[in-house]
A and B are shown apart, each in its own frame.
Chain A
Amino acid sequence: MSTATTAGRDARPPAHGGRYRGGILRWLTTTNHKDIGTMYLTFALLMFFVGGAMILAVRAELFQPGLQLMKPEFFNQLIGVHALVMIFAALMPAATGFANWQLPLMIGAPDMALPRINNWGFWLLPPAALLLTLPFFLALFGIGDGAVATGWTLYAPLSVQGGIGVDFAIFAIHLLGVSSILGSINIIVTLFNLRAPGMTMMKLPLFAWGWLMTAFLLIATIPVLAGAVTMLLTDRHFGTHFFDAAGGGDPILFQHLFWFFGHPEVYILLLPLWGLVPHVVATFSRKPIYGYKAQVVSFIAIGVLSVIVWAHHFFTAGMPVPALLYFMYSTMSISLPLAVLFFCWIATMWRGAITFETPMLFALGFIVLFGVAGLTGLVLADVAADAQYHHSYFVVAHFHYALFAGGIMGVMAGVYYWLPKWTGHMFSEKLGKLHFWLTVVSFNLTFMPQFFLGLAGMPRRIPDYALQFAEFNAISTVGSFILGLSQLIFAYNIWRCVKGGEKAADKVWEGAEGLEWELSSPPPHHSWEIRPNFDNR
């Protein structure tokens, strides 16, 4: 095993091409994968709090029946923008930040293959986030009627008739899509062309495999979403009737196009984290990853299956019985490769010398709570059961178990796992554990009652509700505020770690395996200026 150079540690970052820019220019023009990864992660954290603040306002409104704090129109806007911000501006950029920071380190590459495109991919994000949120502020000055109020799905014909917030969302989605496609292209070509000598595809870290599948899914599905929202734009302003039944169009067509993107999007968000979790679990179990090949095959199977199951999101819109059966069975079949992943994660821990540092706690929280998402997803995949649960709080609870417990807690596991490598300092374990326990308890306090609300028939996206739902809503709101506030501990812990603290070792975690741990903590500005020795692995 080789030991990498530590030259460059603590040194002023040298520039590509001999030019060094300081201050804001450095961040605007940087082509360094670590700088860009840092920007992605910082942006994701910021937008996580923006999206979180929106939904806390929503939960405050739902604390009691009746309208207390806001008009229903504003309530709808908050819900729609919360979802768009969390998915496109928080969770996806966080995973892309991981990719930028870690992939070159993990595969022995000097940088991403297309550094300028990398820079451009990031800098498309802030204007897109601005476009999503700007209509809120324009409405304060009497311009327009606020942000997009259709929910993140932008269903026609509501979105055809909506205000300027829909136009802002359409342009934002185009920008976000271009950013995602640029990032995906960069990741695919980097993984194909810049692997260290000796690192075959079947020696790639699982995190890289997860991202590879995600990148292909993005390239296949983002253009479909872009096409759908372009058609929506022409319906709104250029006299077409793609989705307008009065003009011979079909609103259900929009649902097909949206969910052809929307369902794989769930796996786009989760596959990188399913790739990350085995590394964390193996590190803190002090065992090799169990079932590497099985997990790779499962990633590929999940990626392929994810693009052929989209219509389970709108069973109730009506479709022929054979189509219902096809989409039900194909959806349920995704549980097979997913079960393989769960088995491999648990088998990795089996008889391991397990310790429970913060990254491991979040990985375990991820596994257990994402299991709840998987099981309730099977319930929703059942056509007959879905007729009752569709558009209820059961669905809201299900996808938050998938995207918060499976997504954001996975991101937190990754941040705590790699933060000492990135900063060169250890974070506070005490604060990390406090953050974990507050998060996991308050998350369940927030979303578990929503399963019962949905089973009892409470529809989603309403600001008022019947008295019978009051208690569970009050519990959910209390849980959401604890959950939101406990994330401040996360931000503080990161800030503390960035500012200083105990020095981190190059190999931060004793059980960690992989090329990235051979570099210094923090890694030199230019990664892998020497050849990593991969021949004996």
Chain B
Amino acid sequence: MMSQDAPRDPTQVPTQKPAPPSPAAFSPEELARRRASSRRLAWLLGAVALGIYLVGLLFKR
């Protein structure tokens, strides 16, 4: 939390230390694995949406 009693100045640029060296957010392998997992889940969700649409249309009225 920021200090609660400090006056707010939205235009004031806080002084920041240079960014420390840091590893990539995800390694290329990890990112590829997550993207593949995302594609599988996307197909599943798409199939659910299409299923709701088709069941609605084919349902005997």
Contact = CB atoms under 8 A, between A and B. Distances in A.
A504 B45 contact: no
Given A231-B57, A529-B25, A353 B38 contact: no
Contact of B25 (A6, A189, A509, A528): A528
Contacts of B31: 110
B29 interface: no
Given A505-B14, A530-B19, A353 B39 contact: no
Interface string B40-61: 0110011011111100110001
- Chain A contact residues: helix, strand, loop or mixed: loop
A509 B1 CA distance: 12
Contact of A223 (B2, B14, B53): B53
Contact of A504 (B6, B10, B39): B10
Nearest to A220: B52
A147 interface: no
Contacts of A253: 61
A74 interface: no
Contacts of A502: 11
Output the residue of B13, B37, B38, B57 with the most chain A CB within 10 A.
B38
Contacts of B12: 505
Interface of B: 1-2, 4-6, 8-14, 16-20, 22-26, 31, 34-35, 37-39, 41-42, 45-46, 48-53, 56-57, 61
17 contacts: A3-B18, A181-B46, A196-B25, A219-B48, A223-B53, A224-B56, A231-B57, A286-B1, A287-B4, A420-B10, A426-B11, A504-B11, A505-B10, A505-B14, A509-B10, A510-B10, A532-B25
Interface of A: 2-6, 108-110, 113-114, 117, 181, 184-186, 188-190, 192-194, 196, 219-220, 222-224, 226-228, 230-231, 242, 253, 257, 286-288, 352-353, 355, 357, 420, 426, 502-511, 513, 528-533
Given A3-B19, A227-B53, A504-B10, 17 more contacts: A2-B22, A110-B26, A184-B45, A185-B42, A185-B49, A189-B41, A192-B38, A193-B35, A196-B25, A227-B52, A230-B57, A357-B8, A420-B10, A503-B13, A530-B22, A530-B23, A532-B25
